[in-house]
Structures are given as structure tokens and as C-alpha cells.
Amino acid sequence: MSFPAIKLSLPAWLCEVLPAPEKVFVTAESRMALVIELAAANIRQGTGGPFGAAVFDLDNGRLIAPGVNLVTATCCSVAHAELVALMTAQRLVGNFSLAAAGCNVELTSSTEPCAMCLGALPWAGIRQLSCGARDSDARAVGFDEGDKPPHWPYLLEKRGIRVLRDICRPQAVAVLEQYRKQGGEIYNGKGQS
Amino acid sequence: MSFPAIKLSLPAWLCEVLPAPEKVFVTAESRMALVIELAAANIRQGTGGPFGAAVFDLDNGRLIAPGVNLVTATCCSVAHAELVALMTAQRLVGNFSLAAAGCNVELTSSTEPCAMCLGALPWAGIRQLSCGARDSDARAVGFDEGDKPPHWPYLLEKRGIRVLRDICRPQAVAVLEQYRKQGGEIYNGKGQS
């Protein structure tokens, strides 16, 4: 028996949305603005759900890797924006732990992570998580965020991962609302195609 | 800016360990025996941690997709055995939800899933989870299972995912013990390489 490799490619349109590599993102708001734009572009381009994420180097403010939700485009339930960004960053630095590779990184996410992405954070070697919309905002639109442990920001902080919440929340919520208004697919594992 | 695709390939040695495609796995124990053998082979071959998993079709007893832990081999913290098996199965059926593709599947895992893999299960469209070793067995060897919500088997059952525990637990624990005894790398995101 032989099996196909798993392959997840970022959409070609990303290069039109991303700034020049030398661009420096100094503030949490500037980093969030980029991932919200990624989420909005992912809707416009029809490549997936209304979620964007990115890994930034906190020492120099540079973007290391972007991510968008690719669940429907790649037929892969694991391809949430956060995990796409983290896996791409790990591939770029050649280490499964960004911390071990010497990187001091923030994962910026347009919406607070679902249970899967939350569970993935400690394994990825990030130092900071920055979130736009709350998980309650995602649920209000119809997305299922899964069963997260109570007090999850506290649990991340206990593991040495700083948590920033509500960064540009209104703008992040607006993208979720836009997706709902235009009748975007609310996918999960329950049986929808 | 352009970014590399994420690519996760199953090890070439898998074809030597897997049975003929027509083999039927009738019992939970027979399915667990295969994933425990995958975990053991992953240690022997030096391709990753002591964890194996597989997606089985419960209607005909056939293997759909295997998975082994590929975290160190692929520099990817997401490449846990469970997610490798699920992503491979989704690619084979061409749908991010195995249930939506018409499959009635069990995810068989040599050890109870960590917080990330647990969070991933509802999105993948599985109907049953079968586990060998307990998460306490993995922690006893030194692995971090993450922060899982209390009563997680109950929460999965509430979502329509049946949970079988302690299937061939002694044999599953033996593989974890063997990995520890031979000084296998206990990796996580904290800074080890």
C-alpha cells in the first residue's frame, strides 16, 4: 500500500496582499491589521474561511510566515490559518520549535484559536499570542470553536506564552460578519461537504 | 514574498509494515495491534516519537490511512500520528470531513490524543476514537499532553464521537516504555532542538 503526501500550499494571491519583506511591524495593531486583511482577502478570493494568521519575529518586527484558512481549498480540516502559519514558519526555520530555532515570535490570529489550534500552541515554540475577535464572536457567526479548557489564556500564560486579546476587535469582527452576510460556508466535521 | 508549501510524507518503510489492502480488521484489538506496531516501527526506524494512529472504515473493516509521529523528521510540531492519519485520509477521500464523504470511521491511536489532536477530532468527521495507552502513561514517560478540558471523553460522546479506552493498554504502554529506556527524544516546544 502507498499513500499520498499531505501538501498544503498558500494561495498565489498572497504575494499581492503582503508587503515588502523589509516592512517592520512595530505595534500589535499593525500586525493585527495585516492578518485581518489576510482574512478579508481569503473571503474575496474564495479560498477559505474568514480567518487569517501570521508568525512575526518580535525582535525585529518582521513577518516570518502568513497563514489563511485553507480547509475547503485543500480538503483538510487541520488547515486552519494558525496552523498553516506555524507549519510554514517551522519549515522556513527548519525546526519544529520556533523557540529552539532561536526565534522570539508572536502568533497573530484574526480570531481566538479553536480547541485544536489552542492545543497546538505550546508545541510550536511561540512566546506570544495576539488575538482580534473573541471566540464568542466566531460562535455568534455560526462557527464551532470546540471544547476549550476553561481559563485557557491563564493556562497559556502559565506555560510562558503571553496572551493579548481584543486587538482591533471591531475590525476583526467586521470580517466575520461580512462572511456571514454573504452566506459563506459554515463548515465543520458534522457532515457538510 | 513567496513561501514554501507544507509537505508531510509518510516514511517509505510503512509499506513493509502494512498488511495487504484487502486485510479486514474486525475487532478493536486488531486495529490497535496495527497502530501499536506502527509506533514500535517508528522508533526502530528512527523516524519520530513512539506514537502510531490509523483511520479505519468501520463498515468494511479496511484501513483507510495510517499515521506515525513525524514531528522531528519533518520539522513540524503539528505532525502528530493522529493528524497525519486524518489528513492523509481526507486527501484520499477528497473531503475535509470524512463523515461528509460518506465514511463511517474510527481513528485508532496508540496513546490518548494530546490537547491539539483532541481538538482536531470534531473537525475531521470521525465517528469513533479508540485509544491504547492513557495520557497519564504518556506523561509518565515525560511527554506533555497539553491542557485538555476535564471529562474530554464525555465531551466527545456529546458530539457523537464514541470513545473506546484501554484497548491493548499494556502493549501500548510497553512501546512508550521502550522509547524511554532507549533514551528517545522527549520533544516539545519549550526550546529543545
- Closest CB to A78 among B65, B78, B122: B78
Q: Do A97 and B2 touch (CB under 8 A)?
A: no
CA A165/CA A134 separation, integer angstroms: 8
Residue B108 clears pLDDT 50, i.e. is over it:
yes
pLDDT of A193: 34
Phi then psi dihedrals of residue A81, to 5 deg: -55, -40
pLDDT of A190: 55
pLDDT of A184: 77
Residues pairing with B7 in the sheet: A7
Q: Which amino acid is at A7?
A: K
CA B82/CA B165 separation, integer angstroms: 15
Residue B104 clears pLDDT 90, i.e. is over it:
yes
CA B66/CA B191 separation, integer angstroms: 29
CA B146/CA A121 separation, integer angstroms: 10
For A188, name the nearest residue in chain B, comparing CA atoms only. B123
CA A122/CA B67 separation, integer angstroms: 22
Confidence tier at B29 by pLDDT (50, 70, 90): very high
- All residues of chain A having their beta carbon less than 8 Å from the beta carbon of residue B14 are 1, 3
Residue B184 clears pLDDT 80, i.e. is over it:
no
* Residue A148 DSSP one-character state: P
Instruction: List Cα–Cα distances, A127 to A53, A102, B5, B49, in angstroms.
Output: 15, 11, 24, 24
pLDDT of B191: 44
Distance from CA of A189 to the nearest CA of B (A): 4
Q: Do B8 and A10 touch (CB under 8 A)?
A: no
Q: Which residues of chain A have pLDDT under 70?
A: 187-193
pLDDT digits (tens, 9 = 90+) for B158-172: 999 999 999 999 999
Could you tell me if residue B5 is left (phi over 0), alpha (psi between -120 and 50 degrees) or otherwise beta? Answer: beta
| Average confidence (pLDDT) over B74-80 | 97
- All residues of chain B having their beta carbon less than 8 Å from the beta carbon of residue A97 are 77, 187-193
Q: Do A97 and B1 touch (CB under 8 A)?
A: no
Q: Do B5 and A3 touch (CB under 8 A)?
A: no
CA B159/CA B5 separation, integer angstroms: 33
pLDDT digits (tens, 9 = 90+) for B144-155: 999 999 999 999
In chain A, count H helices and then E strands.
Answer: 8, 6
pLDDT digits (tens, 9 = 90+) for B30-72: 999 999 999 999 999 999 999 999 999 999 999 999 999 999 9
Buried b (16+ CB within 10 A) or exposed e, A7-22: ebebbeebeebbeeee
Full DSSP string of chain B: ---PPEEE---TTHHHHS--TT----SHHHHHHHHHHHHHHHHHHTSS-S-EEEEEETTT--EEEEEE--HHHHT-TT--HHHHHHHHHHHHHT-S-TTTTT--EEEEEEE---HHHHHHHHHHT-SEEEEEE-HHHHHHHT-----PPTTHHHHHHHTT-EEE--TTHHHHHHHHHHHHHTT-----TTS--
CA B79/CA B86 separation, integer angstroms: 11
For A6, name the nearest residue in chain B, comparing CA atoms only. B8
CA B166/CA B26 separation, integer angstroms: 17
Residue B1 clears pLDDT 80, i.e. is over it:
no
The number of C-alpha atoms within 13 Å of B103 and in the hemisphere containing its C-beta is: 28
β pairing state of A63-68 and A128-133: unpaired
Which of A22, A82, A106, A112 is the catalytic position? A82
Confidence tier at B186 by pLDDT (50, 70, 90): confident
Report the percent of chain B where pLDDT is more than 90: 92
For B101, name the nearest residue in chain A, comparing CA atoms only. A193
CB atoms within 10 A of CB B34: 22
pLDDT of B189: 57
Query: Nearest Cα to B146, choosing from A107, A123, A97?
Result: A123
CA B47/CA B113 separation, integer angstroms: 19
| Average confidence (pLDDT) over B89-104 | 96
Q: Do A147 and B149 touch (CB under 8 A)?
A: yes
- Closest CB to A123 among B77, B92, B126: B77
CB atoms within 10 A of CB A112: 25
CB A61 within 8 A of CB B47: no
Residue B176 clears pLDDT 70, i.e. is over it:
yes
pLDDT of A108: 98
